[in-house]
Amino acid sequence: MNNNTNYIGKPVNRVDGYAKVTGGAKYAADHHARGLCYGVVVSAGIAKGKILHIDTTEAMQLEGVFKIFTHENVSGLAWFNHSYKDMDAPPGKHFRYLQTDTITYSQQPVALVVAETFELARYAASLVKVTYKADAHVTNLTGNLDQARPPKGKKSGFKKPSSRGHFDKAFTAAPVTLDATYFHGAEHHNPMEMHATTVLYYKNGSITVYDKTQGILNTQSYVKSVFGLSGRKVKALSPFVGGAFGSGLRPQYQLFMAVLASLELKRSVKVMLTRQQMFSLGFRPITQQSLSIGSMEDGSLQAIKHEAVSGTSQFEDYVENIVNWSGMLYHCKNVKQSYQLVSLDTYTPLDMRAPGAVTGMFGLECAMDELAYKLNIDPLELRYINYSVEDGSMKKPYSSKALRDCYQQAAERFGWSQRNPEPRSMKNGHLLTGWGMATGMWDAMTVPARAKATFTADGRLTVGSATADIGTGTYTIMTQIAAETLGLPMDNVTFQLGDASLPYAYLEGGSATAASVGTAVQKACMQVRERLLDLAKDIPDSPFKGLSVAQVSFADGMMFMTETPANFIHLKDIMTLTDTGEINVTSTPLPNVFKQMKYAKNTHAAVFVEVQVDEELGAVKVTRVVSAVAAGRILNPKTARSQIMGGIVWGISGALHEESVLDHQFGRFINHNYAEYHIPVNLDINDIDVIFVEEQDDVVNPMGIKGVGEIGQVGVAAAIANAIYHATGKRIRELPITLDKLL
């Protein structure tokens, strides 16, 4: 056997690459229909108060304006709060668009103008006059820390902070201590594709919804429950998503608006938010965190206290795991943690790439660097001294943890051993060079997912699951898994996603898709294998009679006996000889919970960066990044590397560029456009070197997949802040580290 159908672990090109480079990939706003009309949203100009009056007269006089939806004319929608709950909703009272005269946050949508063309809708929207009675608003977290309170209710994935031992006693007794407070403001996801929905309306009253989402079932169920529609009436699709990073985890209001207008006007409707309105969606919460660490002179940690306060909205309690990492990463007996919220007059924050970890690990890994300097110990050495083989918060060993190898390989590639620890020791005129490092950590999660597979007599396999590909490579890796499992060329395999009629998959988020959907896909293909073997046994004189599925292998379009590969049969022949048209299966993998319960399951990374700081201008350039990642089995090093690289770019962005600036006078994010909300451009990104340290892990799932969507970003901001300290001798504890902070 040649076995040309081994794909797992190979750097194959994206299967959707052709569509993406030719303009053939259709995103939510790329659909057309006869009589399609356009909706433009009017956003509130105040942060808190009441709408006194909405004057739509002038706008409605324009020919071609069909309707203007406001709270005054929207009715008949779902009554109960739970109808507005979505798969990622935090506990609270979920927002109902256009159903109240109360303004709860700046840029709250207050009207939807629907017209024959986009230009006309936009113009008409500018003629809608809203008068408000403004109330005093509160958007300042740091000025309201006295309002901090524990979060209410539960959100999926949230782990309560857990303390252990006796922090106070141990901290007081520790010979070396550190106290530091860190802060970052809000960040908005800002995927390149602005949130958009196109609803196609059919004469029989059914609709097809093209939505920008990370979970098409979330879209469909929201539409069903809010508008009281049956599943048969709502087809929901999202084959291509122009990035999301968390912004597609909840149904965003353009979905509501487009469906509302379509059902009412009985027309097809397209609604795309403006870039400005992308700042009216959820965001990474504004967070202040404090760390107190006590250690012995030899660097061994005695006590860690990690406390964080984040902002949330007035109506939902968004929570994320910020402080928990401090109880997991290092060996330390005495840990104290607390996590609190302050309600602000903003929209509810929302999971944004590596939510919680990006924040918490920034604090923890900067604090470790500060401690290293106090102790006069190399920062990497300090990590080795406190290396932990178990998750101390749960007292469980890791299912696998190759972090030590990550440290070693990345440090060697980077040349860390050459580092002079002295700040400002690498100076060349007005340019200061600095080296810093940090650790990254994220969860290796599995979420519920099913898949179906159809194998047809022409030798083609179609596999599907209602998951998403937001740029992560889902299409590609699922095709690899399916093709290899059945031993088919990838060209003969099609993977479908982003369709609510496909078998259940949870939201694409948290780096859980490769592991979860991947397992379901593999299992479905294993079921096809069994069926093929059963069929083959029916063929007269079949050599396969009496064999179990464990005794046969699949490759190059054939099934063969593993022991004696000369006994083989083409899969197509199995189908023809048994007169079988197609094989259909659906898989529902169940994780081995008993096995998994005994372990902590995480991904790790070690990231080393070099920065160059222009002392006269304060400008920082990240000249080099080396990141070694331990994330179980890597299905496709090409797409996985892109994920990690993207995460690193996000880390650079968070460290140096990104911040949604709140003007507390207006309670509004004022830099709400791509010119003033800075993200890295091409010239900002230099050498990025990604190393995968593969781990064998049969606990997480049968294929040992841990996921790579988030881990690349975690720790990067800390490594940069630490490198900037090394370059300049300045400890900046507030992100982003803009030039004003360095002058």
Partner 1 sequence: MDQVAASVMVDQPTHTITLTVNKITYELKVLPWVTLLDAIREYIELPGTKKGCDHGQCGACTVLVNGKRINSCLTLAVMKNGADITTIEGVAEDGVLHPLQQAFIDHDAFQCGYCTPGQICSAIGLINEGKATTREEIQELMSGNLCRCGAYPNIVAAVQQVNGKL
Which residues are tagged catalytic?
710
Query: In the complex, which residues of this chain contact ligand FES (CB under 6 A)?
Result: 192, 243, 471
Nearer to ligand FES, 658 or 697 (CB): 658
Nearer to partner 1, 446 or 643 (CB): 643
Near partner 1 by CB under 8 A: residue from 643, 660, 701, 722: 643
Residue 737 one-letter amino acid: I
**Nearest C-alpha neighbor of 456 from the set 528, 517, 393:** 528
- Which DSSP state fits 415? T
Residue 355 interacting with partner 1 (CB under 8 A): no
Nearer to partner 1, 334 or 639 (CB): 639
Q: Is 412 exposed, middle or buried (0-12, 13-18, 19+ CB in 10 A)?
A: middle
Nearer to ligand FES, 243 or 591 (CB): 243
- Give the whole-angstrom CA distance, residue 261 versus residue 38: 9
Binding mask 689-728 for partner 1 (x = CB under 8 A): ----------------------------------------
Near partner 1 by CB under 8 A: residue from 7, 84, 240, 330: 240
Residue 54 interacting with partner 1 (CB under 8 A): no
Minimum separation from the CB atom of position 19 to partner 1 (A): 8
Binding mask 115-144 for partner 1 (x = CB under 8 A): xxxxxx--x---------------------
Give 75's contacts (C-beta < 8 A, 6+ positions apart).
none
Residue 478 interacting with partner 1 (CB under 8 A): no
Minimum separation from the CB atom of position 176 to partner 1 (A): 38
Nearer to ligand FES, 1 or 25 (CB): 25
Residue 550 interacting with partner 1 (CB under 8 A): no
**CB under 5 to 8 A by kind: which of partner 1, ligand FES, none does 706 bind?**
none
Token pair 């920082």: residue: 620
The residue sitting closest to ligand FES, measured at its beta carbon, is 192
Residue 285 interacting with partner 1 (CB under 8 A): no
The Cα diameter of the chain in Å comes to 86
CB 177 within 8 A of CB 346: no
Instruction: Point out which span in 80-88, 256-264, 467-475, 542-550 binds partner 1 (CB under 8 A).
Output: 467-475
Binding mask 10-39 for partner 1 (x = CB under 8 A): ---xx-xxxxxxxxxxxx-xxxx-------
Rg of the chain on CA atoms, in Å? 27
Residue 617 interacting with partner 1 (CB under 8 A): no
Instruction: Point out which span in 267-275, 327-335, 507-515, 597-605 binds partner 1 (CB under 8 A).
Output: 267-275
**CB under 5 to 8 A by kind: which of partner 1, ligand FES, none does 14 bind?**
partner 1
Nearer to partner 1, 89 or 244 (CB): 244
Binding mask 418-457 for partner 1 (x = CB under 8 A): ----------------------------------------
For 314-326, letters b (16+ CB in 10 Å) and e give bbbbbbbbbbbbb
Instruction: Point out which span in 42-50, 344-352, 389-397, 636-644 binds partner 1 (CB under 8 A).
Output: 636-644
Near partner 1 by CB under 8 A: residue from 8, 272, 609, 717: 272
Q: Which two tokens stand for residue 431?
A: 């340019």
Q: Which two tokens stand for residue 9?
A: 């672990």
Residue 58 interacting with partner 1 (CB under 8 A): no
Q: Which two tokens stand for residue 641?
A: 């590397």
Strands of 101-218, DSSP E: 102-103, 109-115, 129-134, 176-184, 187-188, 196-201, 207-211
Instruction: Point out which span in 58-66, 257-265, 296-304, 418-426 binds partner 1 (CB under 8 A).
Output: 58-66
CB 484 within 8 A of CB 620: no
Near partner 1 by CB under 8 A: residue from 241, 481, 699, 737: 241
**Nearest C-alpha neighbor of 507 from the set 141, 241, 686, 135:** 241
Minimum separation from the CB atom of position 243 to ligand FES (A): 5
- Which DSSP state fits 614? E
- Which DSSP state fits 293? E
Residue 413 interacting with partner 1 (CB under 8 A): no
- Give the whole-angstrom CA distance, residue 426 versus residue 728: 9
Residue 66 interacting with partner 1 (CB under 8 A): no
Minimum separation from the CB atom of position 715 to partner 1 (A): 16
Nearer to partner 1, 23 or 581 (CB): 23
Strand order in the sheet with 129-134: 102-103, 49-55, 129-134
Nearer to ligand FES, 165 or 680 (CB): 680
- Give the whole-angstrom CA distance, residue 72 versus residue 661: 32
Minimum separation from the CB atom of position 192 to ligand FES (A): 4
Residue 60 interacting with partner 1 (CB under 8 A): no
- Give the whole-angstrom CA distance, residue 110 versus residue 70: 6
Give 41's contacts (C-beta < 8 A, 6+ positions apart).
109, 111, 112, 113, 125, 253, 254, 257, 271, 273, 277
- 657 to each of 274, 315, 652, 653, 692, how far by Cα in Å? 21, 30, 7, 5, 27
Measured from the Cβ of residue 645, the count of other Cβ atoms closer than 10 Å reads 17
Nearer to partner 1, 265 or 394 (CB): 265
Q: How far apart are the first and last CA of the chain?
A: 66
Residue 673 interacting with partner 1 (CB under 8 A): yes
Q: Which two tokens stand for residue 519?
A: 């397992």
Q: Is 496 helix (H, G, I), strand (E, B) or coil?
A: strand
CB 253 within 8 A of CB 282: no
Minimum separation from the CB atom of position 160 to ligand FES (A): 35
- Give the whole-angstrom CA distance, residue 690 versus residue 601: 22
Can you give the binding site for partner 1, defined by CB under 8 A?
Answer: 13-14, 16-27, 29-32, 62-64, 115-120, 123, 190-194, 240-245, 272, 274-275, 470-473, 638-639, 641-643, 645-650, 653, 673-675, 679-685, 687-688
